[in-house]
Amino acid sequence: MTTKRRDELLVGLLLLFAVVLGIGGTIWIARGGLASGYPMFARFPWGSGLKQGQPVLLAGVQVGYVDKVQLIPDGTISVQLQMQSQYQVPAGSTATVQANGIFGDMLIALTPVVGRQGYMTSGDTIPTGKGSPGVPELLSKGDSIALNVRALTDAARTQFVEGGGMQDVRQTVADLAKLVTQLSAVTAEQSKQLTLTQQSVRRTLASIDSAKVDSTVKNLQAASAQLDALARDFKQTNGQVQGVLDKVSNGTGTAARLLNDPSVYARMDTLLLRVDSLMADLKKNPKRYINLRIF
């Protein structure tokens, strides 16, 4: 092997070692590097998609990473979390698995309880909460929606195409178009009649003699003035009659005494009775009152 060939091989190995060292250092730093931490645990069902190195977020802030994932035969996986020492998990927090991007990567989200006091300690197991649906669940939901849409499409095709519903719709549209045409014709005819009526009204207004209208208005004004004067005279006469009635009703004259004094009525009755008795006696014995002698 020549010297030049050996040098090229050494350079390639050094570059490969540098790349591996850079990638490993990046991953190591991302996982906490030299920072001290403490372990915590959580349990999730199979198929959660967790693996070593995935981030752990507390209220949206990365506070650790997945250190170990152990498969348990009871249908769960035990996950060891490496938490950074400067962060503490509030008591009552729950751990859920959520999607990290659109490429199938996952993360663990810790959700604290607002207002809860105290913190969890190293080695505690964080309770598992209900996680957000992943890509498989979303695909399954999409398949279910697609099946429902297909069933609805098949039913619509059966009703509208095979059952003659489309023909009924076309007939309805044709009838509607015919009705619109008829309404347009009626509207045009009504507009024509309205135009003729307006022209007739204009001709009638033009044929009215303004002098006759003025004369009629003046006559009405004169009649109104006469009625006003008659009403005033009637009001004055009514006042005079009312004054006379008040004097007769409230005065001390003969008429007032005749109307208001009961003793006058009694005396009048007595006088009338005496007159009646005198007339009866006069008819019965005229000679007592009339004595005629002839010389």
Q: Tell me, what's the pLDDT at 294?
A: 47
Mean pLDDT by 10 residues, the chain (295 residues): 73 83 69 68 85 86 88 88 89 86 81 86 85 62 80 74 69 84 85 84 74 75 80 78 67 60 67 78 69 49
Residue 99 structure tokens: 């999607």
Residue 100 structure tokens: 């990290």
Phi, psi of 278 (to 5 degrees): -65, -40
CATH code given to domain 34-115+122-129: 2.40.30
Angle at 282 between CA 281 and CA 288, to 5 degrees: 95
Given a contact cutoff of 8 angstroms between Cβ atoms, the answer to whether 132 and 79 are in contact is: no
Domain residue ranges in the chain: 34-115+122-129, 254-287
Q: Tell me, what's the pLDDT at 41?
A: 92
pTM, to two decimals? 0.38
Given a contact cutoff of 8 angstroms between Cβ atoms, the answer to whether 50 and 73 are in contact is: no
Q: Tell me, what's the pLDDT at 92?
A: 87
- DSSP codes, the chain: --HHHHHHHHHHHHHHHHHHHHHHHHHHHHTTTT--EEEEEEEEETT----TT-EEEETTEEEEEEEEEEEETTTEEEEEEEEETT--PBTT-EEEEEE-SSSS-EEEEEEPPTT---B--TTPEEPB-PPPP-HHHHHHHHHHHHHHHHHHHHHHHIIIIITSHHHHHHHHHHHHHHHHHHHHHHHHHHHHHHHHHHHHHHHHHHHS-HHHHHHHHHHHHHHHHHHHHHHHHHHHHHHHHHHHHHHHHHS-SHHHHHHH-HHHHHHHHHHHHHHHHHHHHHHH-HHHH------
Q: Tell me, what's the pLDDT at 48?
A: 79
Q: Tell me, what's the pLDDT at 159?
A: 67
